[in-house]
Structure 1
Amino acid sequence: MMVGDVAGSGSLKDRAGSRRLGRAAGRAALIALAALAVLPGNGHAASRRGDRELESRLRQHIEILASDEFGGREPGTDGEAATLRYLGKQWFDIGLVSGTNDPGHEWFAPVSLVAREPASSSAQFVRGARGKPIEPAEILVLTSGKRAMVRSAPLLFVGRGDMGELTRNELAGRVAVLLDSASEAVADSELASGDGTGGEGADEGQGATSQRQSALLAMGAAAVLTVLDGERTIEGIEARRLRSGYALSEDSVGGDLEAFISPESMDALLAGTGTTLAGLVAQAGRDDFRPLALDIEATLEATTRARTIHTHNLIGKLPGRHPEAGAVLFLAHWDHFGTCAEAPAEDTVCNGAIDNASGVAALTEIARRLAKGSQLDRDVYFLSTSAEELGLLGAHAFAENPPLPLDQIVAAFNIDSNAIAPRGTPFAIVGRGMTGLDEAIATVAKKEGFRLRDDDEANEYVRRQDGWALLQHDIPAVMVTTAYGEIERIRAFFEGDYHRPSDDATRKLELGGEVEDIKLLTALGRWFADLRRTPQAPGE
């Protein structure tokens, strides 16, 4: 220290006395503040202030992520780059570190997608030994590969496609003719029992039909021809395939061939064979039904165009004291549909404010809360997935190339579309009964003063969120949220603004329930990261 500095600041003795007086004043101020804190109503006032501040941060995140500047957050676009820059900075500033555990790809784990689009479709049938070729007016032939073809394959009517009624010898080299209405009925039954089908936005019956098509092809069928005798149409299937033909690039695709035909075209095809579509449907409903060979041969061909999309999952981590003891995972998908409408519509961008800027906002604020507390025992990972809207593909990519062994994830909590419910709405578990987490969740909810529904109604939507992809890889994953606490509210969203340009930040955002989601999920994070509370994975 220079002489001038000492002279200008008084003697050392004077300054020491000042410091003692300052410390005494500081202690007095702390005592006064403590006294104020215990006055009636002050704790609640502080809590309300904290909730308002949290709501303000949530609203800011949502408004930024759901702005037109982010272009609807479509994977592989400038909107993705803007989204990941924003989230990456937030997480870094909070104090997270990269969770990819890959020095070559810190923070951003690459996900390669292949978008496949039908290119050509042709079908020709011959009825009888010397029949004239018939080209139905309403038929669509599709393949997941680049090109697939079958030539002069006989048709075999398999009704509902029940595997117990079929043998490999019967199917080998034949085109299996399947009724779509039966699959729709199965899909309705599965949805009613909480075992829903398909990914987000799946058409009714699509999942059940796809399962039967896959099973028939696996048993040796050359192709599957589905008769659209229910509610689905050729146009609807074609439109769906145009928007949902996505897969991870490493997923192998073969020359599978599937075709769809209208009931009118099927009836025209059957003319002269001694049966009708109505007759086939009646036979399929009989208890003694057996597959029926039709006097028709088919030549089917389809080709596909493909393009590669390079996108990313964002993975952050809050290191724990004992990373060898496993980890807790929080996740929310960042992606949406980009431009989803055409002129002359005034609004053409699907901004995805609720789905799922709200979920990513909650994920970020949970990270902030956990980072402010004392260091936890276990690592806590924060995952923001890409391509959820395209079939939960980012979650599958995470599980297929994880930053840690999957069996070390003791609990995973997905967050999706949670700016819906008001404060005080009960919580529901999407995935209730499917993991070993339920008992601990109920304990923590009670401890935190939150109501938790004790039914499985929310499982109606279990397959429509990233947690389902993780469950397929044996990761215990659930959604714990007020958004599904009163099921009619989420149903109204799905029937209204969901996947439309109107889901933007100009609409009223209900953040009261989201604040409570964050509080309970933060408490769950601390519980499952605590080796005293959860010494091993639930269910072990």
Structure 2
Amino acid sequence: MIRPAFLLAATALLAVPAAAQQQPAFSTQRLSQHVQTLGSDAYEGRGVGVPAEGRTVQYLIREFGRAGLQPGGDLQNGRRGWTQRVPLLQSDWQGTPTLAMNVNGQQLPLTQGQEIAARAPTNGQSALNLQNLPLVFVGYGVKAPERNWDDFKGQDLRGKIMVVLVNDPDFEGPLADPQNGDFGGKAMTYYGRWTYKYEEGARQGAAGVLVIHETAPASYGWATVKNSNTNTMFDIVRQNPAAEHPPLEAWIQQDLAGRIFAASGTSLEQMKAAARRRDFRPVPLKATLTAQGQARTQVINSSNVVGILPGKSRPDETVIYTGHWDHLGIGQPDANGDRIYNGALDNASGISHMIEQARAFARGPRPDRSVVFLAVTAEEKGLLGSEYYAANPLYPVEKTAGVLNTDSMGVFGRANDFSISGTARLELLDMLVEEGRRLGRKFTPDPNPQSGGFYRSDHFSMAKVGVPAISFRSGQDLVSGGVTRGEAIAREYTEKRYHQPDDEYLPSWNFEGIAADATLLHAVGRRLANSTAWPNWSADSEFRAARDASAAVRGGGAQPAGAAPAPAEPVPTPADVAGERG
């Protein structure tokens, strides 16, 4: 028997009776058609800042309207439009950057996309010019005062290149010595994410950060790294981008790292073992890096697409369904010469669910709270559309009851179970578990918490400002084939399709699975939208403080929907967002 994530402090949450209305029927034909359309070559991988974006946005506006939604985006002449403008810094390499290392006296040219994947700069500069800068191994690159952990030990990294391991110190298994830190075992903390490594590199004043790729701790192969890091880069427009990004952000192949360590009189395995200890100190390496390149940078406007069904009695309170419309666009060709990264599963499937979920709500009884459908941009570039919304909310985050995110839905038939990305402890999850049980389905925890799934989808942006948020995952215990088939499908997708041109629609896909998941997500959203309860995080969650800080707003004096957006809660630092437990 699956127990809820934790015992509810707000017993009224589970006391809300299940809705008596008949569950809506979700059309597998329409679900399939949306995926086929958005995942087709005509939409060119739904890249950001290219003509395909306009086609995608117009498709969403049309389908949201047909589903029965009202425009829920930016105010335009006193009325809401369908979109929220999202200013983004765009950076493209002009030609191929020149990259080389000197490893213990031996000159070693590096080929972009092979030994190294260097991202176009988003630190506010368009030129990259690093000459023979020394490399320093800094373990996992973690500075976590609350865990008494500091991989830097005061090392001055100005004018140097950090070399770091992906994931966090407990990935290989916690050390028996209690004096060495607790990072939660296999479940990745935010300190394990590559985004954190770059952020910390900027805080340390480093000239660059090289993340060593290993398939297991990264949870994906080099093909994914290459495809995601050698194309156009984006970031939200920041006042001081250099505070978030060092000049060089790149990944390197494991074999190259091994060669550097060997030339420095050690090995990758020895360095990994040393990096798991609290007393680890930075290790200067016998290697330097030269990197030169010119990027074209510009500020563009992208769009979140937003539809709403105003609540009948408490329209100032919202429940939000989210999903990202973008994918990788057109990039490096695969072995077959295919350059279109269609993103049929990731995330045309999640957007398909959102459109049909909107239709189900529009055709049913209008709930008490408003239901918002937020299709965000630039998730593949670092959760940028959702980060922008969280900082510039159209509807106050203080009165957002919860966020249900869908990213890569199950297209392989019905499953007996369901899950969420990563591990989290919150009352919204308890509600999901209970509604699943009513439908005869069981909750299975994320089978791969070491992949850091909680930090890799758009619900995370909302969690950082305190909003209870989960990213739903379809189950792997398939009605046809069981766990064995489900796990084999997931493994094959990660290895051969994830962030690759082969993420294309297949006629063999069975959309009964998405329909069943949509039924469950509808039950949860409808229940929350008709409730007076405010789900919260567990008492020990790092997101609880941000939510509690706005409790008075939910108790009275609410800002009505349509008024000027309320300021967002401060975004926690990585030390505040140090990893979910559970």
Q: How does 1:91-106 map to 2 (within 5 A)?
A: 91-103=64-76, 106=81
1:470 equivalenced with 2:445 (yes/no): no
| Structure 1 pair 300–409 and aligned structure 2 pair: CA distance change class (3 A) | same
Q: How does 1:278-357 map to 2 (within 5 A)?
A: 278=267, 281=270, 285=274, 290-291=281-282, 303-323=294-314, 326-340=317-331, 342=333, 345=336, 348-357=339-348
Structure 2 counterpart of 1:193, from 186, 194, 203: 186
| Structure 1 pair 185–408 and aligned structure 2 pair: CA distance change class (3 A) | same
Cross-structure match for 2:386: 395
Structure 1 counterpart of 2:441, from 441, 451, 473: 451
Residue range with higher mean Cα deviation, 309-318 or 247-256: 247-256
Structure 1 counterpart of 2:396, from 393, 405, 414: 405
Residue range with higher mean Cα deviation, 223-232 or 384-393: 223-232
1:248 equivalenced with 2:236 (yes/no): yes
Deviation at 1:376, TM superposition (A): 1.0
Deviation at 1:385, TM superposition (A): 1.4
| Structure 1 pair 168–526 and aligned structure 2 pair: CA distance change class (3 A) | same
Deviation at 1:425, TM superposition (A): 2.8
1:496 equivalenced with 2:484 (yes/no): no
Structure 2 counterpart of 1:416, from 407, 414, 423: 407
Letter in 2 for 1:108: T
Return 5+ residue gaps in structure 1 as ranges.
1-46, 128-132, 199-204
Distance, in Å, in 2 between the alignment partners of 1:191 and 1:386 is 32
1:75 equivalenced with 2:48 (yes/no): yes
| Structure 1 pair 173–280 and aligned structure 2 pair: CA distance change class (3 A) | farther
Q: How many residues align?
A: 469
Please tell me whether the aligned partners of residues 442 and 452 of structure 1 are also in contact (alpha carbons under 8 angstroms). Answer: yes
Letter in 1 for 2:236: L
Q: How does 1:120-199 map to 2 (within 5 A)?
A: 120=97, 137-138=109-110, 143-145=121-123, 146=125, 147=127, 158=138, 161=141, 163=143, 164=149, 170-171=155-156, 173=158, 175=160, 178=163, 180-181=164-165, 193-195=186-188
Cross-structure match for 2:433: 442
Cross-structure match for 1:57: 30
Distance, in Å, in 2 between the alignment partners of 1:429 and 1:235 is 25
Cross-structure match for 1:276: 265
Deviation at 1:410, TM superposition (A): 0.9
Return 5+ residue gaps in structure 2 as ranges.
1-21, 144-148, 174-182, 478-482, 538-547, 549-582
Please tell me whether the aligned partners of residues 227 and 266 of structure 1 are also in contact (alpha carbons under 8 angstroms). Answer: no
| Structure 1 pair 123–506 and aligned structure 2 pair: CA distance change class (3 A) | closer
Cross-structure match for 1:13: none
Cross-structure match for 2:566: none
Please tell me whether the aligned partners of residues 96 and 316 of structure 1 are also in contact (alpha carbons under 8 angstroms). Answer: yes
Distance, in Å, in 2 between the alignment partners of 1:342 and 1:155 is 31
The CA RMSD over aligned residues, in Å, is 4.3
Cross-structure match for 2:528: 528
SS at match of 1:71: helix
Deviation at 1:443, TM superposition (A): 2.3
Deviation at 1:317, TM superposition (A): 0.3
Cross-structure match for 2:6: none
Distance, in Å, in 2 between the alignment partners of 1:216 and 1:322 is 49
| Structure 1 pair 404–170 and aligned structure 2 pair: CA distance change class (3 A) | same
Please tell me whether the aligned partners of residues 417 and 444 of structure 2 are also in contact (alpha carbons under 8 angstroms). Answer: no
Please tell me whether the aligned partners of residues 114 and 248 of structure 1 are also in contact (alpha carbons under 8 angstroms). Answer: yes
Distance, in Å, in 2 between the alignment partners of 1:443 and 1:165 is 41
Distance, in Å, in 2 between the alignment partners of 1:296 and 1:350 is 36
| Structure 1 pair 497–181 and aligned structure 2 pair: CA distance change class (3 A) | closer
Cross-structure match for 1:35: none
**For 1:483-506, what per-residue CA distance to the aligned partner results, in whole angstroms no more than 9, with x for missing partners?**
455561433322333334443334
Deviation at 1:98, TM superposition (A): 1.2
Cross-structure match for 2:84: 109
**For 1:126-154, what per-residue CA distance to the aligned partner results, in whole angstroms no more than 9, with x for missing partners?**
99xxxxx9865449787543146678977
Cross-structure match for 1:85: 58
Letter in 1 for 2:455: R
Distance, in Å, in 2 between the alignment partners of 1:182 and 1:383 is 31
| Structure 1 pair 251–498 and aligned structure 2 pair: CA distance change class (3 A) | farther
1:215 equivalenced with 2:200 (yes/no): yes
Compare the two structures and name the one with the higher helix fraction: 1
| Structure 1 pair 68–183 and aligned structure 2 pair: CA distance change class (3 A) | closer
SS at match of 2:46: coil
Please tell me whether the aligned partners of residues 415 and 476 of structure 2 are also in contact (alpha carbons under 8 angstroms). Answer: no
Letter in 1 for 2:437: K
Q: TM-score, normalised by structure 2?
A: 0.67
SS at match of 1:457: coil
Distance, in Å, in 1 between the alignment partners of 2:272 and 2:470 is 43
Cross-structure match for 1:25: none
Letter in 1 for 2:265: T
Please tell me whether the aligned partners of residues 159 and 177 of structure 1 are also in contact (alpha carbons under 8 angstroms). Answer: no
Cross-structure match for 1:377: 368
Cross-structure match for 2:510: 510
| Structure 1 pair 420–490 and aligned structure 2 pair: CA distance change class (3 A) | farther
Residue range with higher mean Cα deviation, 141-150 or 410-419: 141-150
Deviation at 1:474, TM superposition (A): 2.4
Q: TM-score, normalised by structure 1?
A: 0.71
Please tell me whether the aligned partners of residues 420 and 509 of structure 1 are also in contact (alpha carbons under 8 angstroms). Answer: yes
Please tell me whether the aligned partners of residues 418 and 483 of structure 1 are also in contact (alpha carbons under 8 angstroms). Answer: no
Deviation at 1:417, TM superposition (A): 2.0
SS at match of 1:515: helix
SS at match of 1:507: coil
Please tell me whether the aligned partners of residues 159 and 284 of structure 1 are also in contact (alpha carbons under 8 angstroms). Answer: no
Distance, in Å, in 1 between the alignment partners of 2:533 and 2:32 is 37
Deviation at 1:515, TM superposition (A): 1.0
Cross-structure match for 1:11: none
Distance, in Å, in 2 between the alignment partners of 1:368 and 1:495 is 34
Please tell me whether the aligned partners of residues 224 and 498 of structure 2 are also in contact (alpha carbons under 8 angstroms). Answer: no
Letter in 2 for 1:437: L
